[in-house]
Structures are given as structure tokens and as C-alpha cells.
């Protein structure tokens, strides 16, 4: 299977093949309080008007419109949660708090700063003219009953949860979290913090890929490690495939004598969808499926793993959850420095972005070697440099791709 290397796929084609393989996950109903960061699966409509009743925008007095100087009799109070008992009568004012219901008969609120209280508490004198509707929040001003407040595919951040509750929701139907299993392959890998023996390195991909997957909404236990051994690779992958929607393997997908991932997956009935993308870093990227289970074989170099996660795994996790397209505020930037092109492969360069004279400038974030994990630190995005001869000049416009956290 390793013998003949297939032609390189474009990034766009590879991503399309990934998305074609995705069947959205089932949904579940959760209390709003547990739905944070999940993806809403159904359109959410307001069950009633918000605010549900006309209410005061200020602490003050509910009144009728009138001129500046008025002497009004105090006739009760409307508090938040406890409306006034009687309607507003002729030449009366009702004390009112912010958010309290406007009493029947009243059509405006005069803020307490514009009022002096006379005769103990029995009477007020107004010091400002009042027009109809002043300081009154209309019923349904924020949301109208039956209107769509959140669309399916929305990620439920803090604002969305607040809006959902205001709209009357107690539970939300959300996509199940993709169950992701990360496996790092390599005899050289040591667990984080462990002392290194000769030729060993720390398994930085494991925790990095778990964090990346979790930030995309996945449920992902700590990464497992597989030695460069065919039987162990097969056993580890078989176990991962049992109860994961997505398996992410790092390393072992090249053509070396110790790269066992592809043949092991073949034995396990995982059908190869593609292998090798015209991408630097990330050429050996492998993608396959077994039924609805998706398997990504990412290259072992940490930068390659992070970049290919961003370009291929992130969209798959989003699509599994029915998440709408990511809103990138900027999709293009101008190169600050020339970048030598790769004749055969598009490059995904980690860049910092800065605005200068109204233009968004992309500066490569230090040395770009695929083993240089530090090139990810402080990077704002990936800039795609199309394959070709020579160099892409400073000032050229490049497409940006999000660099997931």
C-alpha cells in the first residue's frame, strides 16, 4: 500500500473530501446551564415578547406627559417584580424602579433626578417636561414572540445563552460533542515532564491535539501513545475506533520502515479517502473512514500536526456539530516580506497580523520549519502561499486561514 505514492491533492479538494465524509452527529437536549460552547441544533424562537411588558428604563416616577413644573400626588409604587396595584389617576405619579411594569394609565417615566419630593412622601414636583414614551421600554422591543433569536449552527457563547434564556428557553437542543481520540505514534515519545533518554523527545502533539480538539467542541480524553510496532499500532487503533467518532493519529503516516499507521488502518477496514496533500507543512496527511467514523493521520512534526488540524480536522469537527462557517473578520492580508515559493505545494505560513495605514500586513512568525513548534506561538493566522517558482513578493495579497487555538 505504501509503495506507490498517489498524486498530491490540493488543500481545497482534500477539505472537500473530508466534508463529504461527514454525517452530522445526533442531537441532545440540555439544560441551558449546561449548553455553553455547544452548537445549537434547532432554530430558537422567542416564546414571548421581551420585555414581556412595558417597563421603566429608569428609577423615577410613572406619569402622564406634561410640562416641566407639575405638582403630582404620589399614588403607590411599582417595583421590579411587584407591579403597582392601582392605575395612575389624574395628577398622580407612581414611584417606579428600573425594570418595573409601567402602571396602567401611565405613558412615561420621569427620572428621580428631575423630581423633588414634597410633604414628606406625599407629593412630588417635576422639574423637566415629559413626553409620551420617555424612559419607557416597549413590550417586545428586544424580541418579538415567535421571531427567530438564534439560528441552528450557532455556537452558544455567553451572549447566546443570555439571549436564549431571555427568549424563554429552559433547555436547548444541541449537537452531541464529537468523541475524539488522539493517538501519538513514535518510539521516541516520552510523556510530558518525563526525563529524556538518548534519542527521545517529549510527546508535544498529544496534549496539543487534545487541546485543539476540545476547543472545537470535542470530548477528548488524554492522548494515547503507540509504539512503532505493527501489532501494537493495530490494537491501539482498533480500540480507539470502538468508541470515537474521530480518531486523530499523529506520526507514522510517511513511508519509513517504522510507519505502521496506514497498513494497520487498512487491516482494520478503514477505507483510505486520501493520502498526501500539496501542502507544506503537511504533505503526508492521510484521511480515511470506516462508516461514519473518521480517521485523520497527521504528520508527526508538531507544526505539521497543528496546521493540518486547522485545515482539515477543524472543519470536520465543525461540520459534525452542524456549526455554521467560522466568521473570519479578515480573509486576506498583504505580505510584509517576500516568501520563497514551493514549486509543488502550497505553503501554510504562520503569520502575525498588524494593521498599517489601513492595510492588514502579514509577517511570518519566525522560522517556519515544521519541527519549530515555537512558530505557532503568538501567530494570528495561516497565510496560504500558492505553489510556484521564485518568490511571492512583499506586498502580494495572500489568503488567510484561521489558526485554531
- Residues contributing to the site for ligand AMP (CB under 6 A): 184-186, 188-189, 201, 203-206, 250-252, 254, 256, 299-302
Distance CA 58, CA 191 (A): 59
Give the length of the chain. 405
In the structure grid, which three cell numbers stand for residue 115, read together? 423630581
As to burial, measured by CB atoms within 10 angstroms (0-12 exposed, 13-18 middle, 19+ buried), residue 199 is: exposed
Nearest approach, Cβ of residue 299 and ligand AMP (Å) = 5
Q: Using the rule CB under 5 A, is 103 a contact of Mg ion?
A: no
Q: Nearer Cβ to Mg ion, position 249 or 318?
A: 249
As to burial, measured by CB atoms within 10 angstroms (0-12 exposed, 13-18 middle, 19+ buried), residue 223 is: buried
Q: Nearer Cβ to Mg ion, position 184 or 365?
A: 184
The residue assigned the cell 498599517 is: 356
Residue 137 β-bridge partners? 55
Distance CA 168, CA 49 (A): 9
Asked if 398 and 383 count as a contact pair (C-beta separation under 8 A), the reply is yes
Q: Using the rule CB under 5 A, is 251 a contact of Mg ion?
A: yes
Point out the residue whose Cβ comes nearest to ligand AMP.
300
Query: Out of ligand AMP, Mg ion, none, which partner does residue 374 contact, by CB within 5 to 8 A per kind?
Result: none
Query: Out of ligand AMP, Mg ion, none, which partner does residue 188 contact, by CB within 5 to 8 A per kind?
Result: ligand AMP
Query: Out of ligand AMP, Mg ion, none, which partner does residue 122 contact, by CB within 5 to 8 A per kind?
Result: none
Nearest approach, Cβ of residue 279 and Mg ion (Å) = 19
Q: Nearer Cβ to ligand AMP, position 144 or 202?
A: 202
Q: Nearer Cβ to ligand AMP, position 108 or 189?
A: 189
Q: Nearer Cβ to ligand AMP, position 184 or 216?
A: 184
DSSP 3-state assignment of 329? coil
Greatest C-alpha distance within the chain: 98
Q: Nearer Cβ to ligand AMP, position 60 or 206?
A: 206
Asked if 336 and 342 count as a contact pair (C-beta separation under 8 A), the reply is no
Query: Out of ligand AMP, Mg ion, none, which partner does residue 201 contact, by CB within 5 to 8 A per kind?
Result: ligand AMP
Q: Using the rule CB under 5 A, is 186 a contact of Mg ion?
A: yes
Q: Using the rule CB under 5 A, is 302 a contact of Mg ion?
A: no
What's the N-to-C CA distance of the chain in angstroms? Answer: 34
Q: Nearer Cβ to ligand AMP, position 61 or 286?
A: 286
Nearest approach, Cβ of residue 301 and Mg ion (Å) = 10
Nearest approach, Cβ of residue 255 and ligand AMP (Å) = 9
Q: Order across the sheet with 180-185: list the strands.
A: 224-226, 180-185, 246-250, 293-298, 286-290, 271-275
**Binding interface with Mg ion (CB under 5 A):** 186, 251-252, 300
Amino acid at each position: 500500500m505504501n509503495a506507490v505514492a498517489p498524486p498530491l491533492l490540493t488543500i481545497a479538494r482534500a477539505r472537500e473530501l473530508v466534508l463529504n465524509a461527514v454525517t452530522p452527529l445526533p442531537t441532545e437536549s440540555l439544560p441551558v446551564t449546561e449548553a455553553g460552547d455547544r452548537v445549537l441544533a434547532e432554530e430558537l424562537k422567542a416564546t414571548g415578547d421581551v420585555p414581556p411588558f412595558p417597563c421603566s428604563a429608569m428609577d423615577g416616577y410613572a406619569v402622564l406627559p406634561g410640562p416641566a413644573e407639575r405638582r403630582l400626588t404620589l399614588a403607590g409604587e411599582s417595583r421590579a417584580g411587584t407591579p403597582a396595584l392601582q392605575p395612575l389617576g389624574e395628577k398622580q405619579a407612581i414611584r417606579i424602579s428600573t425594570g418595573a411594569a409601567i402602571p396602567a394609565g401611565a405613558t412615561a417615566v420621569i427620572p428621580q433626578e428631575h423630581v423633588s419630593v414634597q410633604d414628606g412622601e406625599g407629593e412630588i414636583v417635576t422639574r423637566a417636561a415629559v413626553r409620551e414614551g420617555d424612559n419607557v421600554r416597549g413590550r417586545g422591543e428586544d424580541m418579538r414572540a415567535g421571531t427567530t433569536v438564534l439560528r441552528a449552527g450557532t455556537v452558544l457563547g455567553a451572549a447566546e445563552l443570555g439571549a436564549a434564556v431571555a427568549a424563554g428557553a429552559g433547555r436547548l437542543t444541541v449537537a452531541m460533542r464529537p468523541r475524539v481520540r488522539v493517538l501519538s505514534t513514535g518510539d521516541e515519545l516520552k510523556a510530558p515532564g518525563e526525563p529524556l533518554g538518548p534519542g527521545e523527545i517529549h510527546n508535544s502533539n498529544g496534549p496539543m491535539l487534545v487541546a485543539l480538539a476540545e476547543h472545537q467542541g470535542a470530548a477528548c480524553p488524554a492522548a494515547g501513545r503507540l509504539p512503532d510496532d505493527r501489532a501494537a499500532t493495530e490494537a491501539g487503533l482498533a480500540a480507539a475506533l470502538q468508541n470515537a467518532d474521530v480518531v486523530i493519529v499523529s506520526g507514522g503516516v510517511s513511508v519509513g520502515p517504522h510507519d505502521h499507521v496506514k497498513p494497520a488502518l487498512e487491516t482494520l477496514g478503514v477505507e483510505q479517502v486520501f493520502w498526501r496533500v500539496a501542502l507544506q507543512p503537511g504533505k503526508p496527511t492521510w484521511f480515511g473512514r470506516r462508516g461514519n467514523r473518521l480517521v485523520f493521520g497527521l504528520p508527526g512534526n508538531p507544526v505539521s500536526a497543528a496546521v493540518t488540524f486547522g485545515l482539515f480536522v477543524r472543519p470536520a469537527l465543525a461540520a459534525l456539530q452542524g456549526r455554521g462557517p467560522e466568521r473570519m473578520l479578515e480573509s486576506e492580508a498583504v505580505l510584509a516580506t517576500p516568501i520563497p515559493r514551493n514549486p509543488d505545494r502550497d505553503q501554510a505560513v504562520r503569520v502575525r497580523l498588524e494593521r498599517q495605514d489601513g492595510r492588514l500586513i502579514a509577517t511570518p512568525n519566525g522560522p517556519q520549519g515544521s519541527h519549530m513548534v515555537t512558530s505557532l506561538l503568538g501567530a494570528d493566522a495561516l497565510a496560504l502561499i500558492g505553489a510556484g517558482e521564485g518568490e511571492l513578493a512583499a506586498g502580494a495579497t495572500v489568503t488567510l486561514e484561521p489558526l485554531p487555538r
